[in-house]
Amino acid sequence: MPKVRHMPNDPTLLVIGHPGHELRSYEWMRKTRPTVLVLTDGGGATNHPRIERTRGVVTQAGAVAGQLFGTFTDRDLYRF
């Protein structure tokens, strides 16, 4: 696999499906400070959204929450 290089001024984007997935990329977010998009609010079957916790992790890493950030409920997205 080729080594991936990131140039310091290149804009980066992280797209994840659900809150919590950002934890797998925390160190990378800290280094690259991407714009982060999260498709669902993470409410699942209980409808208790977890998106604000994810917003805190993203901010703590120095990344930026994008415009599409917890826009859909899990249920709505699964209907697609």
Q: Among the residues of 33-71, which ranges form H helices?
A: 51-60
Confidence of residue 76 (pLDDT cuts 50, 70, 90): confident
Residue 13 β-bridge partners: 35
Question: Are 55 and 69 within 8 A, CB to CB?
Answer: yes
Question: Are 39 and 17 within 8 A, CB to CB?
Answer: yes
Q: For residue 79, give both structure tokens.
A: 């209907």
Quote the DSSP letter at residue 22.
G
Domain boundaries, the chain: 19-79
pLDDT digits (tens, 9 = 90+) for 15-63: 999 999 999 999 999 999 999 999 999 988 788 899 999 999 999 999 9
Residue 38 β-bridge partners: 16, 69
Q: What is the pLDDT of residue 44?
A: 84
